[in-house]
Amino acid sequence: MALTPSDETAHLEASAVGQRRATPWLLLLALPILFFLSLPLLALFLRSPLHQLATNLVRPEVVQAVQLSLTTGALSTLVTLGFGTPLAYLLARHRFRGRALMDTLIDLPMILPPAVAGLALLITFGRRGLLGAYLDDLGVSIAFTPAAVVMAQVFVASPFYIKSAISGFGSVDRDLEQAAAIDGANAWRILQHITIPLAWPALLGGIVMTWARALGEFGATIIFAGNFPGRTQTMPLAIYIGLELDLTIALTLSTIMLSISFLVLFVVKRVLHQRVTNRWQ
Amino acid sequence: MLKLCGYLLIIITISLLLVSCAPVSAPSTQTDENAGTTTLVVFAAASLTNVFDEIGATFRTAHPGVEIVYNFAGSNQLATQIAEGAPADLFASANEAQMAVALESGRIHADAERTFAHNRLVVVLPTDNPAGLIGLDDLRQPGLKIVLAAADVPVGQYALGFLDRAEADSSLGAGYKEAVLANVVSYETNVRAVLSKVVLGEADAGIVYTSDAAVQSDQLQQIVIPDALNAIASYPIAPLADSQQTELAQQFVDFVLGPDGQTVLAAYGFAPTSGEEQ
């Protein structure tokens, strides 16, 4: 079997086993930032007693926000997968004029303040917007709807998947694909059986990052989709409103978001790790 | 790996202990001795953004060496921040309820509180009035896009009060509140967000303060809400008891209540006040 990039990763990891033991002074250097990152999260849990969590969990505004966030987050991820994969493949496999420009454009939504993204979406797809004005003539209105929530999330979160998928596709050994082609596999089968499985860790990592970013989207959503319970009020919006209305709701939703995100990220990381380890064995 | 976790746990526990033993100190202001400037931190309702900027500029000409730092946000956010210990010297709220939250935290003394301005509600429309609205009754037309502030933002609370009074009023009548609320597409987090959505033409109508409408009057049409139905918002102001600049903070309060401050407030669409105690 040819040495694939992921085998290399596994090999590197294996050789690193000898250095696994953390030296105390390195640990000491690493601690401040770890502490800084984890203490506020811990504080959230400490300030939300369990009984309060239980009573708030069944409140309609909390249930609505959780449902809406999970649905829109899943939809945004699917949309990103559907439209982002071809773009990522194109950028990973082809060199053409304007490629660098496209690549940079994809970076922009990641570094743009989300409020700017929301305003940009509003003046594009709002009813007075660049495209929205025409849509409005057709009777299609996007702003203030769940569709606007999904669009805001895709705008802000899809680059995470696309970037990851570009490097994933780029790292697949072309010789393997060519060997399969010589053996008579058509393009679709090569993609299905070789390219995607080999790029899978990067794809999955990207999917999870996009999903997590979509789940946490706030700034673009509140400007483009507004805030309406059950329609456009996702968890981050409900948390923000809850800060004013009822701090315990904000705390409950924050702990729910943290728990869901942590669980998903952790599980995916474990799965990825196992895949790499299994292939190496 | 286990050993690593053990190390981590021990160090985190020790750090936690250290943190919990550390004396709590929240310096509310800093005086930069070298530059000779004093900083006054003012927490003010979002609807005060423009007027306080101008009042602050006038105040500074009378008090050279004073630097004013504003935190403009929804009064409710500000009250939460104050209750959670945010460093501030002054709090100007858009309603009594949020000042009460700050009072409850113990960081403001009730006898220090003064009403410095009044405000009223007005219905705002985009300049081209896409829905062709003429009177208050038109707000019940099905299919409108109306934007209000969330009920926990003072202006949102006042808007609901207006709808209640309209409901009870013979000229608008039963079902008015429900019909208007059915048209609401978004409950914004502060009054300026309501205004932006209307100015951008994304909403057919919104309810804001007359003072906010005054800021962008050239980009809006307005429908007046009669006094009988209108809500008169009172703006309370108070220095924080734990401020390092109590004297300066009190001077700022006096300035806002005095003729200079009241003139600026009037220019920005606020109704004057006699500065009554709460």
Closest CA to A240 of A213, A262, A221: A221
For residue B7, what pLDDT is reported?
57
Interchain CB contact of A22 with B (< 8 Å)? yes
Taking only residues 199 to 258 of chain B, the set having a beta carbon closer than 8 angstroms to any beta carbon of chain A reads 200-202
Report chain A residues whose CB lies below 8 A from the CB of B11.
Answer: 27, 31
Taking the Cβ of residue B57 and every Cβ of chain A, the question of whether any pair is shorter than 8 Å is answered with no
Query: What are the pLDDT digits (tens) for A227-273?
Result: 999 899 999 998 887 765 677 888 888 998 999 888 988 888 888 77
Q: 3-state DSSP call for residue B29?
A: coil
Q: B6 CA to chain A: closest CA distance, Å?
A: 12
Decide the pairing of beta strands B121-126 and B220-224: antiparallel
> What ipTM is given for this predicted complex?
0.76
State yes or no: pLDDT of B31 exceeds 50: no
Q: What is the DSSP letter of B275?
A: -
Contacts B77 to A, Cβ<8 Å: 243-244
Long-range (24+ apart) CB contacts under 8 A made by B82-85 are: B82/B43, B82/B107, B82/B108, B82/B240, B83/B107, B85/B26
Q: Where are the domains of chain A?
A: 60-280
**Per-residue model confidence as pLDDT tens digits over A138-154:** 989 999 999 999 999 99
- The answer to whether A127 faces chain B, any CB pair under 8 Å, is yes
Contacts of A143 in chain B (CB under 8 A): 185, 202
| 3-class DSSP string for B208-261 | EEHHHHHHCHHHEEEEECCCCCCCCEEEEEEECCCCCCHHHHHHHHHHHHCHHH
* B200 neighbors A123 (Cβ within 8 angstroms): yes
Residues A16-58: pLDDT tens digits?
Answer: 444 566 688 888 899 999 999 999 989 888 887 778 888 888 8
DSSP single-letter state for residue A21: S
Q: Do A228 and B7 touch (CB under 8 A)?
A: no
Distance of CA A196 to the CA centre of its chain: 19
CA A34 to chain centre: 22
In this model, does residue A60 exceed pLDDT 90? no
Q: What are phi and psi of B208, to 5 degrees?
A: -135, 180
Q: List chain B residues with CB under 8 Å of A45.
A: none
Q: Is residue B79 within 8 Å of residue B101, measured between CB atoms?
A: yes
Q: Residue A6's pLDDT is what?
A: 47
Interface test with B, best of A31, A128, A149, A244 (most B CBs within 10 A): A244
How distant is the Cα of B38 from the closest Cα of chain A, in angstroms? 31
User: Could you tell me if A218 and A114 are in contact, meaning their C-beta atoms sit under 8 angstroms apart?
Assistant: yes
The whole-angstrom separation of Cα A135 and Cα A147 is: 14
Q: What DSSP line would sit under A174-241, residue for residue?
A: HHHHHHHHHTT--HHHHIIIIIHHHHHHHHHHHHHHHHHHHHH--HHHHHHT---TTTT--HHHHHHH
B7 in A contact zone (CB under 8 Å): yes
In A, minimum Cα distance to B73 occurs at A244
Of A27, A31, A228, the CB nearest to B186: A228
3-state DSSP call for residue B154? helix
- What CATH number should be reported for the domain whose range is A60-280? 1.10.3720.10
Residue B13 pLDDT: 56
Structure tokens at A106: 């994809």
Is the model's pLDDT at A281 over the cut of 50?
A: no
CB B11 within 8 A of CB B119: no
How many CB atoms sit inside 10 A of residue B206's CB? 32
* Pairwise CA distance, residues B250 & B255, whole Å: 8
- Summarised one tens digit per residue, pLDDT across range B228-275 is 999 888 899 999 999 988 899 999 999 999 999 999 998 888 887 755
Residue B28: the pLDDT is 41
Tell me the percentage of chain B whose pLDDT exceeds 70.
85
How would you label A182-213 residue by residue, b for 16+ Cβ within 10 Å and e otherwise?
A: eeebeeeebbeebbbebbebbbbbbbbbbbbb
CB of A241 less than 8 A from some CB of B: yes
Domains for chain B: give ranges and CATH numbers.
Answer: 37-118+234-267 (3.40.190.10), 121-224 (3.40.190.10)
Residue A199's pLDDT is what?
Answer: 93
**What phi and psi values does residue B242 have, to the nearest 5 degrees?**
-95, 15
* More confident: B275 or B111: B111
- Given CB atoms, is A143 within the 8 Å cutoff of chain B? yes
Evaluate whether B84 touches B101 at the Cβ level (below 8 Å).
no
